[in-house]
């Protein structure tokens, strides 16, 4: 016991070392963090990598022509504050794209357009428990048959 | 009050009764086992123990009955029940009826409850003196799981989600439910199962995963029981085989999920650091760390505290994982979209987590002075020192992963809006490659160390051969393996190579240990087999990820290294390729042709036939095979959508993997372009947007003056040449026939030019060329294709690792030393 108090055990030194490593890893991570932004605030930090939460503006065309370029999708997004932006996504159009209620886009503003690297869709079809959708469906079914 | 016809209400009432029965009996069981644990005298303890056992067995039987009840509802398509309506439909294949269970929240809690009941009954039979304290935790878990299912109202707050609710009670305002015959008229079919879950892995992966998942409570229960009963050492022995079982099953379940992701998700891989994956992996890391510290304690008396902490944390993190993935707090970050059941489940799970944190904390604090500590310092040459280092590393990597995964939850707590930036996978991979490197090294070397102390001579004597063999193999991989993943620069590539070296070393050293030190004796072989498997997994992960190859690399225009491509795009390669029907297109090492598609009408599944040929420099086909990816056509108000399933060609050393990203179904497209009619005669030229059509010859033939035409009345034939701007010439022969006064057209198409050509007869009897430019003439698909090398090493390694866990467990149960 007494011996132990004089000198730190290797395990303790090791522990401190590991904690230092974790802190270093987390600090290095800070550089890779980005933020969720609105279209307006993303415009303010042009070129910076951000996450946008928005909806697809279906009143504007969604253009994807795999014959011309299978890696180009362009559309207009509108966020909850009502701001809109053109979006370029250099990949195939995701399944259920038009059906999605909300999209999370990762990318950065380049000039007036948002260059999107990744899109995550929030689709009602996957949220099977969404009661509103269910009810809507039932209402339409009953209208059709009556 | 409307009297509804055709409903099957009895079965739902039975289900509700059973749920309440589980709820009550597990509560009685928890209380009885508690009383049995705290009673001082055997006479007092016995009746409580008996009551506890009986109550738990009642709840266990009820869970099985509950399972059957819900299964009958799904099996018989009773769509008046919300669960059946939401998760099933009539056309669903039998084997997927089980998958309907785990698609919904209620079914997964039920599955968890099922395994918890099975494990609990098993413990009642085997845990002997530990039965009552251990069963307190088990019964509490059972109670909480039942509470997720009761769906009763407590002061206007609904507790839990009941799987037996009726559609008409959930949506009372929907007009269909004004009709007493709604069931036969409207609710004739269900919504069906999410097509991603219609995969055979989804039938077996959830049960195995949940077995691993639910079994993490057993080591936890023993740890708490040990401290509670002040037997601070005794709990270690019975915990060991359970921890091994749990780690084996959880590992297997996670990797089955990876196999499912690999085969049916379209993100092109088996692991994407998705929150759902991370959340199940972190408890596994803690459990494995705990197994190692328990071993250290058994052999040296060190690390008891660490073992207690790791084992408790494994289960607590399992609960936290449930919280993260089930309550919707992850929101936008997960591709696995789980429902948020709303705030009740949120608080419900938080309550459960706090209770299960409180238990170990309380018993630990009470006993903190009595915990045996071995103050003799570990030697640097001892097995336990380095095993502890490894365990610590596993825990720390777990912390790193769970902190990152929890970011959305932290945002919610602290009102921040942080997210992992550009490259989620790299943020994890760059740390994990370091972890893999050290773990590989430890996995190999530490096997050769002895507990307490090892002489240098022994270490080097035994390690020399495996080091040399591993060095040679690794060197060969580095020199000739063509691992040149430089997307993140040299540093990361070097790290990958170093990790491959240590992983190979782990494989070789553990194989050699089994042969030279254990001499093939199975009794102690579990660990070297498990570590051998783990090493193989590491090798498989490192090589398959860093050598993953995009086959459908699309560079439109000339690709000159260092220069932007023709369209001025800086990041290359782009991943999607469009294939036009019957037109061979070069793609990677292959020439690929879209030969056609066929539809399975029963479930709207389309199979695409895609031909892959490898052609050598002298135009000989050296290899030839067909890949048939498929896709579900999901019809909805917004039109038909595609939900793609990859197709693959498996080789021993690599997989080619193809999936459809876009498909134009010609049947569905309304052709908006119309024909343009131009009068023609021999030698005319007709222009279109991308070139011109040369009229070489027009022929008119009549039955009366041409005896070659017995079948039709008259015919107009043409020979045309389509010249595109690019200078491509195509011969076409559209025609026009009249039979019995009815015209028939033989149109001809030039795919590459989006051109349809036909002949028409004008009012005045002259011939016209009908010309249409349309995108709908093309049958085409857009796809992505990848090549995954050596992925089989990962699967093989997983199986071997799990076998290793099971061997260790088996011999620990058999050896008298470890019986409770």
Provide the pLDDT for residue A131: 45
pLDDT of residue B573: 59
- Domain boundaries, position B344: 201-379
% of chain B with per-residue pLDDT over 70:
90
Q: What's the N-to-C CA distance of chain A in angstroms?
A: 86
Mean pLDDT confidence for B613-641: 77
Mutate to test the interface with B, among A66, A97, A130 (most CBs of B within 10 A): A66
Of B185, B419, B423, the CB nearest to A35: B419
pTM of the model: 0.83
List CB contacts of B417: < 8 A, sequence separation 6 or more. Answer: A35, A36, A37, B411
DSSP class per residue in B419-457: EE-S-HHHHHHHHHHHHHHHHHHHHHHGGGSPSS---HH
Residues A112 and A60 both lie in one domain? yes
State whether B221 and B369 are in the same domain.
yes
Same domain, yes or no: B538 and B685? no
The alpha-carbon gap from A138 to the nearest alpha carbon of chain B, in Å, equals: 6
| CATH, residue B162 | 1.20.120
- Which residue would you say has higher pLDDT here, A61 or B765? A61
- Residues A44, A116, single domain; the answer is yes
A44 to chain B nearest CA, in Å? 17
Residue B614 φ then ψ, to 5° = -105, 125
Nearest alpha-carbon partner for B322 in B407, B213, B415, B398: B213
B550 to chain A, minimum CA–CA distance in Å? 14
Using the Cα atoms of residue B769, residue B771, residue B777 and residue B782 in order, give the sign of their dihedral.
positive
Task: Say whether both B97 and B226 belong to one domain.
Answer: no
Nearest CA distance, B337 vs chain A (angstrom): 7
B316 and B426 both lie in a single domain: no
Question: Are residues A56 and A24 both part of a single domain?
Answer: no
Check whether B132 has a pLDDT greater than 80. yes
| Interval B588-596 mean pLDDT | 86
**B386 in any annotated domain:** no
Contact A93 B662 (CB under 8 A): yes
Do A71 and A2 fall into the same domain? no
pLDDT at position A92: 86
Specify whether A93 is located in the same domain as A106.
Answer: yes
Q: Is residue A49 part of a domain?
A: yes
Q: ipTM score here? A: 0.74
Does residue B112 contact residue A137 with C-beta atoms inside 8 Å? no
Q: Which of residues 122-141 of A touch B (CB under 8 A)?
A: 122-123, 125-131, 134-135, 138-139, 141
Residue of higher predicted confidence among B393 and B754: B393
**B189 and B208 fall within a common domain:** no
Q: Could you tell me if A70 lies within 8 Å of chain B, comparing CB atoms? A: yes
According to DSSP, residue B727 is labeled -
On whether both A50 and A89 belong to a single domain, the answer is yes
Residue of chain A whose alpha carbon sits nearest to that of B632: A95
Compute the average pLDDT of residues B519-547.
Answer: 92
Q: Do A19 and A41 have their domain in common?
A: no
A74-118 residue pLDDT tens? 999 998 888 999 999 988 888 778 777 788 888 889 888 999 988
Asked if residue B213 and residue B186 are part of one domain, the reply reads no
**In the structure encoding, which two tokens stand for residue A141, read together?**
């079914």
**A49: which chain B residues are within 8 Å (Cβ-Cβ)?**
421-422
Measured CA to CA, the distance from residue B269 to residue B791 in angstroms comes to 10
Domain check: are B633 and B542 in the same one?
Answer: no
Query: Are residues B592 and B689 located together in one domain of the fold?
Result: no
Lowest-pLDDT choice from A16-30, B457-471, B642-656: A16-30
Cβ–Cβ below 8 Å for A104 and B641: no
Assess whether A48 and A107 both reside in one domain.
yes
In a domain, A136, yes or no: no
Q: Is residue A132 part of a domain?
A: no
The residue with greater pLDDT, B201 or B292, is B292
Per the domain annotation, does A42 fall within a domain? yes
> Which of B58, B166, B163, B190 is closest to B109 using CA atoms?
B163
Q: Which of A71-75, B71-75, B196-200, B511-515 has the lowest mean pLDDT?
A: B196-200
Q: Which residue from B88, B89, B83 is spatially nearest to B70, judged by alpha carbons?
A: B83
* pLDDT score of B457: 87
For chain A, the domain total comes to 2
Question: Domain total for chain B?
Answer: 5
Write down the mean pLDDT value for chain B. Answer: 85
Whether A71 contacts chain B with CB within 8 A: yes
CATH number where A60 lies:
2.40.50.140
Residue A142, pLDDT score:
44
Distances (CA, A) of B729 to B150, B689, B722, B757: 73, 15, 6, 15
Residue A19 sits in the same domain as residue A46: no
- State the pLDDT at residue B304: 94
Find the closest chain B residue to A21 by CA distance.
B396
Taking only residues 73 to 92 of chain A, the set having a beta carbon closer than 8 angstroms to any beta carbon of chain B reads: 90-92
In chain B, whose CA is at the least distance from the CA of A25? Answer: B431
What is chain A's alpha carbon radius of gyration, rounded to the nearest angstrom? Answer: 24
Residues 6+ apart with CB under 8 A from B493: B483, B484, B485, B486, B546
Is A46 in the same domain as A66? yes
Return the structure tokens found at B88.
């099933």
**Separation in Å, CA of B212 to nearest CA in chain A:** 26
Residue at A138 is within a domain: no
Answer yes or no: do A48 and A80 share one domain: yes
Domain contains A129: no
In a domain, B799, yes or no: yes
Residue A87 lies in domain: 36-122
pLDDT bracket for residue B559 (50, 70, 90): very low
């Amino acid at each position: 016991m007494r011996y132990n108090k004089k000198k730190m055990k290797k395990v303790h030194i090791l522990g401190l070392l590991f904690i230092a490593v974790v802190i270093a890893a987390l600090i290095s991570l800070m550089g890779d963090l980005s933020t969720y932004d609105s279209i307006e605030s993303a415009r303010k930090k042009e070129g910076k990598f951000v996450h946008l939460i928005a909806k697809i503006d279906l009143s504007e065309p969604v253009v994807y022509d795999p014959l011309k370029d299978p890696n180009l999708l362009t559309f207009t997004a509108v966020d909850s504050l009502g701001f809109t932006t053109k979006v370029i996504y250099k990949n195939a159009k995701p399944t259920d794209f038009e059906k999605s209620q909300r999209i999370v886009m990762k990318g950065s503003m380049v000039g007036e357009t948002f260059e999107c690297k990744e899109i995550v869709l929030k689709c009602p079809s996957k949220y099977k428990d969404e009661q509103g959708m269910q009810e809507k469906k039932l209402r339409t079914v009953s209208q059709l048959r009556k | 009050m409307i009297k509804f016809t055709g409903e099957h209400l009895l079965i739902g009432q039975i289900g509700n009764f059973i749920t309440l029965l589980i709820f009550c009996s597990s509560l009685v069981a928890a209380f009885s086992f508690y009383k049995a644990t705290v009673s001082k005298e055997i006479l007092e303890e016995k009746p409580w123990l008996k009551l506890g056992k009986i109550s738990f067995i009642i709840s266990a039987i009820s869970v099985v009955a509950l399972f059957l009840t819900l299964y009958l509802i799904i099996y018989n398509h009773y769509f008046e029940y919300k669960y059946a309506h939401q998760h099933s439909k009539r056309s669903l294949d039998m084997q997927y009826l089980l998958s309907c269970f785990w698609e919904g929240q209620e079914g997964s809690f039920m599955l968890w409850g099922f395994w918890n009941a099975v494990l609990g009954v098993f413990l009642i039979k085997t845990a002997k003196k530990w039965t009552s304290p251990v069963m307190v935790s088990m019964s509490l878990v059972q109670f909480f799981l039942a509470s997720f299912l009761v769906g009763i109202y407590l002061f206007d707050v609904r507790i839990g989600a009941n799987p037996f609710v009726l559609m008409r009670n959930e949506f009372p305002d929907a007009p269909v439910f004004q009709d007493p015959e709604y069931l036969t008229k409207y609710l004739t079919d269900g919504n069906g199962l999410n097509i991603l879950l219609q995969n055979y892995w989804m039938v077996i992966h959830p049960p195995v995963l949940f077995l691993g998942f639910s079994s993490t409570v057993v080591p936890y229960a023993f740890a708490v029981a040990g401290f509670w009963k002040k037997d601070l050492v005794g709990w270690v022995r019975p915990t060991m085989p359970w921890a091994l079982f749990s780690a084996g099953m959880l590992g297997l379940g996670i990797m089955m999920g990876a196999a499912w992701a690999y085969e049916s998700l379209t993100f092109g891989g088996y692991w994407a650091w998705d929150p759902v994956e991370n959340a199940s992996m972190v408890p596994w890391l803690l459990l494995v760390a705990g197994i190692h510290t328990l071993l250290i304690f058994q052999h040296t008396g060190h690390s008891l505290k660490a073992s207690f902490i790791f084992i408790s944390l494994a289960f607590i993190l399992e609960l936290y994982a449930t919280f993260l993935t089930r309550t919707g707090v992850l929101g936008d970050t997960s591709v696995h979209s789980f429902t948020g059941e709303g705030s009740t489940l949120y608080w419900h799970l938080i309550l459960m987590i706090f209770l299960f944190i409180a238990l170990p904390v309380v018993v630990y604090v009470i006993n903190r002075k009595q915990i045996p500590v071995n103050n003799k310092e570990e030697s640097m040459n001892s097995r336990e020192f380095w095993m502890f280092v490894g365990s610590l590393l596993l825990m720390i990597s777990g912390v790193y992963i769970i902190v990152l995964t929890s970011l959305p939850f932290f945002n919610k707590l602290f009102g921040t809006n942080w997210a992992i930036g550009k490259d989620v996978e790299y943020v994890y991979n760059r740390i994990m490659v370091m972890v893999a490197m050290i773990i590989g090294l430890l996995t190999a070397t530490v096997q050769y160390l002895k507990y307490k102390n090892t002489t240098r001579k022994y270490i080097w004597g035994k390690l020399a051969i495996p080091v040399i063999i591993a060095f040679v193999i690794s060197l060969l991989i580095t020199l000739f393996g063509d691992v040149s993943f430089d997307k993140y620069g040299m540093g990361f590539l070097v790290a990958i190579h170093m990790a491959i070296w240590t992983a190979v070393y782990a494989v070789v050293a553990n194989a050699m240990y089994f042969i030279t030190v254990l001499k093939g004796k199975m009794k102690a072989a579990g660990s070297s087999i498990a570590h051998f498997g783990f090493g193989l997994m590491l090798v498989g992960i490192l090589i398959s990820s860093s050598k993953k190859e995009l086959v459908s690399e699309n560079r439109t225009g000339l690709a000159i290294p260092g220069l932007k491509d023709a369209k001025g795009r800086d990041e290359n390669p782009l991943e999607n390729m469009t294939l036009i029907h019957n037109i061979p297109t070069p793609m990677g090492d292959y020439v690929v042709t879209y030969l056609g598609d066929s539809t399975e009408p029963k479930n709207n599944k389309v199979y695409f036939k895609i031909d892959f040929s490898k052609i050598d420099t002298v135009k000989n086909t050296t290899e030839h095979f067909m890949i048939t990816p498929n896709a579900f056509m999901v019809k909805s108000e917004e039109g038909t959508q595609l939900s793609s399933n990859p197709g693959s060609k498996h080789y021993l050393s690599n997989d080619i993997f193809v999936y459809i990203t876009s498909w134009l179904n010609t049947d569905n497209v309304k052709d908006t372009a119309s024909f343009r009619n131009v009068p023609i005669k021999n030698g005319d030229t007709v222009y279109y947007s991308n070139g011109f059509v040369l009229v070489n010859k027009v022929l008119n033939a009549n039955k009366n003056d041409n005896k070659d035409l017995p079948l039709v009345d008259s015919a107009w034939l043409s020979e045309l040449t389509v010249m595109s701007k690019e200078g491509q010439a195509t011969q076409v022969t559209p025609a026009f026939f009249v039979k019995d006064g009815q015209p028939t057209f033989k149109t001809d198409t030039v795919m590459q030019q989006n051109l349809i050509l036909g002949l028409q007869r004008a009012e005045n009897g002259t011939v016209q060329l009908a010309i249409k430019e349309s995108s709908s003439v093309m049958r085409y698909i857009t796809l992505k294709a990848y090549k995954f090398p050596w992925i089989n090493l990962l699967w093989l390694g997983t199986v071997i690792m799990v076998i290793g866990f099971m061997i260790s467990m088996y011999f620990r149960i058999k050896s008298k030393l470890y019986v409770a």
